[in-house]
Amino acid sequence: MKLVVINGPNLNMLGIREPDQYGSESYEALIAMIRAHCRERGIQVEFFQSNHEGALVDRIQQAYFDRADAIVINPGAYTHTSIALLDALKAVNLPAAEVHISDVRAREDFRQISYIRPACCCTVAGHGLRGYLEAIDFLAEQMAGGKERAGNGEKR
Ligand code: DQA
């Protein structure tokens, strides 16, 4: 299984930005944690982070041309604004898992909308950095044959 983990704006600031919301671990620590998790499971993983919407669209498209099997994406604030990211995910039509470190559903009204959710097979929100690992396991399980779980299997 070949996986791409895509993070949007301000996620490079993990550990510095709002630790009450996002914890004290850095982006580098997140990468190391995911890398170790994937290594144990024989999953090939690549990472991408950008503060720019178009760069995120480009990376989603690249996943298709690189023949990736699945995408894990935390689009940060673009979750709540970006039709372009939704369209990109629909265009590549790869299994995609939406991750939010914080529990967006317990936060401001403007965070209640996720434009990308209709293109994702699951959403993990409010589980901290561990949520990325849960999303990876969900996708790996689906790849392994448990594809009967259609639709957005929300996990909180
Ligand atoms: C976030 C939640 C978003 O609302 C916010 O804009 C982020 C991070 C999360 O991981 O909890 O940047 O996606």
Which of 101, 115, 130, 134 has the most ligand 1 atoms within 8 A of CB, as the residue to mutate?
Answer: 101
From the number of C-beta atoms within 10 Å of its C-beta (0-12, 13-18, 19+), residue 128 rates as middle
Predicted TM-score (pTM) of this structure: 0.94
Q: Is residue 59 part of a domain?
A: yes
Q: Is residue 94 part of a domain?
A: yes
Q: Is residue 153 part of a domain?
A: no
Q: Is residue 38 part of a domain?
A: yes
8 Å CB contact between 48 and 59 = yes
CATH number at residue 33: 3.40.50.9100
8 Å CB contact between 74 and 100 = yes
Please count the structural domains in the chain: 1
Cβ–ligand 1 distance for 76 under 6 Å, the answer: yes
How far apart CA 96 and CA 89 sit, in angstroms, is 8
Closest CA to 43 of 70, 22, 12, 63: 70
* 63-120 pLDDT per residue, tens: 999 999 999 999 999 999 999 999 999 999 999 999 999 999 999 999 999 999 999 9
Which of 17, 27, 73, 74 has the most ligand 1 atoms within 8 A of CB, as the residue to mutate?
Answer: 74
Q: Is residue 22 part of a domain?
A: yes
Question: Average pLDDT, stretch 128-136?
Answer: 98
How far apart CA 60 and CA 53 sit, in angstroms, is 11
Range of the structural domain that residue 61 is part of? 2-144
Q: Is residue 149 part of a domain?
A: no
